[in-house]
Structure 1
Amino acid sequence: MLEHGGNLRDAAKRFGRDDWLDLSTGINPRWYPAPALEGNAWHRLPEPDPALTAAAEAFYGAPRMLPVAGTQAAIQALPRLRKPSRVAVSAPSYAEHAHHWAGHGHTLTLTPYDALDVAVAQSDVVVVVNPNNPTGATIPAAQLLQWADQLAARGGWLVVDEAFGDTTQHNSVAAHTARPGLIVLRSVGKFFGLAGIRLGFVAAHADLLRDLADLLGPWTISGPAQQIAQAALTDSAWQAQTREQLQASGERLRALLAAHGIQSNGTPLFQWWAEAQPEAFWQHMAESGVWVRLFTQAARGIRLGLPPDEAGWQRLQAALTEWTRR
C-alpha cells in the first residue's frame, strides 16, 4: 500500500509518543456534527437512498451522481472499465491515481501540470487533481472543459478529482458531467471532515455510472454513513459558516508560515511548499509532536493542514519558531 497522512499509529510507534497534533491529512479538523441515527440504520441492508443522491447532486451541482465508498473506491475501479489505454496523470498529485492506472494493461505517463495541454493530444485518458493535492495548484474550469471535449471526441476520458474542491465550488466542472467522457470525483471526507464514514461521489454520464455501479456491487455505503452524509449535504447554514471559517484559518496558516520564512501555496484546508530540507523539517516537527506530511519523490516538500484549536495553533507556532532558530 502507498503511504498516506493520518497514520498516527505509525507515528507513535516510531517516535514513542501519543500526544500528536495531526496536521498530516488536510481534513477539516472541525468535522460536521453527526446527528442521532435512526435505529434501523444499524439493522437494514443499506440499499441506495435516492434522497442521499439528490442531496449530493444539489450540493455539488451535478446532473447525476453515484455514491461510492470514498473516492478511493472509484480511483481503484475506473481503470478496470477501459480497455488498455494511454493514460496521463497530473504530477505531482494524489499518488493513488497513478498507482491504479499503471495496472490493467494501461500505459501510464506522469505529466507535469504545465505539460497537460500536450498530453491531452497524445492520451486516451487524462487524470487531473483540481485543486491539486499536495501543491494546491488549480486549472480553470474552462480549460478542463476544453480538454474534456478533445478527449471525448475520440472516445477518451478526462477524470477530474475535486476532493478538495468544496471551498472553490466556482471552479468545479461537475455541472457539465452529463456529457460523455467527463468524470468528476467528490469527497465528503475533506470539507465536512467525515473521512471516517468512507463516502464520496462520482459525477459522470449515466452509462458510465451504470457500469461503475455494476462493478462495485451492492450495499457499498453503510446505512449510518448515508444518514450522516444526507444531513451534512443539506445543512446550508453549517456549510456557509464552515467555508468562512476555513478561509480565515487557511489564510492564518499561510501567514504563520510566511512569518517563519516559508512561502507556501495551497487551499483553505492545507499549505504546501518545496522545502529545501524536507526530511529534516519532518523529523524536527515529529520530535515536537507535530505530525506533518513529508513528500520525497515527485514533489519534495511538506504539506500540513489546519490545527483544530488555539492550543494547536500555539503548538505549531512554537515548533516553527524552534525550526527557524536552529
Structure 2
Amino acid sequence: MLDHGGRLRAASSRYGIALADWLDLSTGIAPYGWPLPAIPDSAWTRLPEQQDGLEIAARDYYGVANLLPVAGSQAAIQALPRLLRNVTVGIVSPAYAEHAAAWQREGHKLLEISEGAIERALERVDVLLLVNPNNPTGRLIEPARLLQWYRRLAERGGWLVVDEAFIDCTPEQSLAAFSELPGLVVLRSFGKFFGLAGLRVGFVLAQAELLASLAELLGPWPISGPSRAVATALLQDMSGHARQRQRLQADAQRLAQLLTAQGLSPTGGCALFQFCCVNDATALHEFLALRGILTRLFDTPLSVRFGLPGDDAGWQRLQQALAAFVQTRT
C-alpha cells in the first residue's frame, strides 16, 4: 500500500499522542462542511438505484451530459488502466502516486515527465495523465493549454486523463465542459471539497461509451444508498457551494500568509492546501509531529504540504508551533 495523508492511528502509535489530541493537516480534505441532510430509511434498507436523483444532481453540478458515480475517484484511478492494453502512459510528475501504481499494475509502460517536457513527449505516449491542480504542488494548468495537448493526442486516438480532485473552488478551470470529446477523461472527487471523504463518492466525466465500459468493469452498486442520499442533497445546495468556496479560498490565503510570516513561503498551493519546498522539510515535519500536528512530507521534491486548520484553536496552535520551529533554525 502506498503512503497517504490522514494516517492518524499510525502517527498516534509512533509518537505516543492520543488520536483526539492531533491537528491533522496531512490531507487536502476540507476541514469543514455544512449540516448533513436526513437520510431516508429506504437508503439503508434497499439496494441503491440510479433513479434516486444522484446522477441528475451531479450532471447539474458539473455541467455535463454524461458521468459515472464511483466509490471515490480512487476507484476510477484503479479501474481505468484495465480498459486499455499495452500502452505508453506519460504521467506529469510529481503527482498523486496511485496513478502510476495503477497503470504499472496493469502492465503499461510508464514515463514520468515534467510539465516542461510534455510538448516533446506527446508523440511518444498514448495516454497523458496529470493532476490539475497538481497534487502535491498545487500547480494549475489552464484549460486552453490542456486542450491543445488533447487535440494532438486525439489525432492518434490517444487519451488525456485529468484528475481534478482539487478544482472545485475554481470550476472555471475545469475541463468538465469538454468531457464529451473522445479520449478525454476527467476525474472528480466529491469528498475533498465537501469535507466528506468518508462517503467514498467520486465521478468520472467522459463519453458515454467509455463510461459504459467502466461501469461494467466496476459492477453494480458501487456507492452505498446513504452515501448517494447525502451526495445528492449537497450537490444541489448551490448557496452552500458558494459559501464553501469563499471560506476555503480565504483560509488558503490565510495559511499562505501564516507560512510566509514564519519564513516558509509556499512554493505552490491551491484552495485546499499549501506546498513548501524547504531544505529542512524532514525536520519541520518531525518537529510538528512531535507536537501533535500532522503534515504531509514528500521526498521528491523535498517538501511539506499543509492542509487547512478547521477552527481558531487549530490556527493558533499551528502558528505557535511554526514560530517555535523557526527559533530552532537560528
Question: Taking structure 1 as the reference length, what is the TM-score of the superposition?
Answer: 0.98
Is contact 1:151-1:158 (8 Å) kept?
yes
* Distance in structure 2 (CA, Å) of the matches to 1:119 and 1:99: 20
Task: Tell me if 1:288 matches 2:291.
Answer: yes
- Range moving further from structure 2, 217-226 or 108-117: 108-117
Aligned partner (choices 246, 249, 253) of residue 247 of structure 1:
249
Q: Distance in 2 between matches of 1:32 and 1:183?
A: 30
Q: Per-residue CA shift, 1:169-218, capped at 9, x if unaligned?
A: 11100110111000000011111011000000000011100000000000
Give the Cα–Cα distance (whole angstroms) in 2 for the partners of residues 288 and 126 of structure 1. 41
Indicate which of 57, 61, 64 corresponds to 2:63.
61
The answer for the alignment partner of 1:268 in structure 2 is: 271
Contact 1:151–1:157 (Cα < 8 Å) also in 2 = yes
**Corresponding residue number in structure 1 for 2:280:** 277
Equivalence for 1:77:
79
Q: 1:40 matched to which residue of 2?
A: 42
**Counterpart position of 1:15:** 15
Moved over 4 A (4+): none
Count of residues in Structure 1 that have an aligned counterpart in Structure 2: 325
- 1:49 Cα deviation (Å)? 3.5
- CA pair 88-310 structure 1, distance change in 2 beyond 3 A: same
Question: What displacement does 1:57 show?
Answer: 1.4
Task: Specify the alignment match of 2:102 in structure 1.
Answer: 100
User: Identity of counterpart residues, as a percentage?
Assistant: 52
The answer for the alignment partner of 1:227 in structure 2 is 229
Tell me how far 1:116 sits from its aligned partner. Answer: 1.7
Aligned-pair distance for 1:325? Answer: 0.4
Work out which of the residue numbers 299, 308, 321 in structure 1 matches 2:301.
299
Q: Secondary structure at the match of 1:308?
A: coil
Contact map agreement 1:136 1:272 (CA 8 A) in 2: yes
In 1: Cα distance, 2:116 partner to 2:51 partner: 41
Letter of the 1:287 counterpart: L
Contact conserved, 2:153 with 2:159, CA < 8 A, in 1?
yes
The answer to whether the Cα contact below 8 Å between 2:90 and 2:111 also exists between their aligned partners in 1 is yes
The superposition leaves residues 103-147 of structure 1 with CA deviations (integer Å, 9 ceiling, x where unpaired) of 222100111122122222210001010000100001110111111
DSSP-derived class of the 2:92 partner: strand
Change over 3 Å in CA distance of 1:32–1:116 after alignment to 2: farther
| C-alpha deviation, 1:50, in angstroms | 5.7
Distance in 2, Cα, partners of 1:234 & 1:219: 22
Q: Distance in 2 between matches of 1:260 and 1:40?
A: 52
In the alignment, the residues of structure 1 paired with residue 22 and residue 317 of structure 2 have an alpha-carbon distance, to the nearest angstrom, of 10
In 1: Cα distance, 2:111 partner to 2:34 partner:
38
Where in structure 2 are there 5+ consecutive unaligned residues? none
1:300 offset after TM fit, Å?
1.5
The offset of 1:152, in angstroms, is 1.6
Q: Which runs of 5+ in 1 are unaligned?
A: none
3-state SS in 2 of match to 1:210 = helix
Give the distance between the partners of 2:86 and 2:10, measured in 1 at CA: 37
Tell me, yes or no, if the aligned pair for 1:32 and 1:194 is still in contact at 8 Å: no
**Equivalent residues in 2 for 1:139-178, closer than 5 Å:** 139-178=141-180
For 2:269 and 2:203, the matched residues in 1 are separated by 23
8 Å CA contact 1:49, 1:226 repeated in 2: no
